[in-house]
Amino acid sequence: MAHRIFVLSPASCAGERARLLLREKAAFPLARRLRHEGAPLGEVFSFLSGLYFRGKISYAREFASAPPKGVGTFVITPDRGLVSPDERVTRRDILRFAAVPIDLAERRYRRPLERDVRRLASALAAEDEVVLLGSIATAKYVDVLGAALGARLRFPAEFAGRGDMSRGGLLLRSARERRELAYVGIDSGARHGPRPPRLAPPPRLPRGVGA
Q: What is the structure's pLDDT at 209?
A: 41
Angle between helices 139-149 and 107-123 (to 10 degrees): 30
pLDDT band at 59 (very low <50, low <70, confident <90, very high): very high
How many CA within 13 A on the CB side of residue 89? 25
Percent over 90 (pLDDT), the chain: 80
Contact criterion met (CB below 8 Å) for 123 and 67:
yes
Cα–Cα distance measured from residue 63 to residue 171, given in angstroms and rounded to the nearest whole number: 11
Summarize pLDDT for 89-128 with one digit per residue, the tens.
999 999 999 999 999 999 999 999 999 999 999 999 999 9
Q: What is the structure's pLDDT at 32?
A: 97
The answer, yes or no, to whether residue 179 has pLDDT greater than 50, is yes
Cα–Cα distance measured from residue 42 to residue 45, given in angstroms and rounded to the nearest whole number: 5
Contact criterion met (CB below 8 Å) for 89 and 10:
no
How many CA within 13 A on the CB side of residue 62? 17
Contact criterion met (CB below 8 Å) for 168 and 55:
yes
pLDDT band at 188 (very low <50, low <70, confident <90, very high): low
Beta bridge partners, 185, equal 154
Q: What is the structure's pLDDT at 103?
A: 96
Summarize pLDDT for 7-31 with one digit per residue, the tens.
999 999 999 999 999 999 999 999 9
Beta bridge partners, 88, equal 40
Q: What is the structure's pLDDT at 161?
A: 82
Q: What is the structure's pLDDT at 187?
A: 80
Cα–Cα distance measured from residue 72 to residue 6, given in angstroms and rounded to the nearest whole number: 6
Q: What is the structure's pLDDT at 189?
A: 53
pLDDT band at 67 (very low <50, low <70, confident <90, very high): confident
On average, the pLDDT of the chain sits at 90
Of 59-68, 115-124, 158-167, 199-208, the poorest mean pLDDT is in: 199-208
Nearest alpha carbon to residue 177 among 42, 59, 7: 59
Q: What is the structure's pLDDT at 106?
A: 98
Summarize pLDDT for 140-152 with one digit per residue, the tens.
999 999 999 999 9
The dihedral over CA atoms of 80, 59, 145, 2, expressed in degrees to the nearest 10, equals 120
pLDDT band at 206 (very low <50, low <70, confident <90, very high): very low
Cα–Cα distance measured from residue 6 to residue 135, given in angstroms and rounded to the nearest whole number: 13
Q: Read off the pLDDT of each residue in 156-166 and give the average, rounded to a whole number.
A: 90
β pairing state of 183-185 and 153-156: antiparallel
The dihedral over CA atoms of 33, 91, 131, 55, expressed in degrees to the nearest 10, equals 50
Query: When comparing pLDDT for 158 and 192, which is higher?
Result: 158
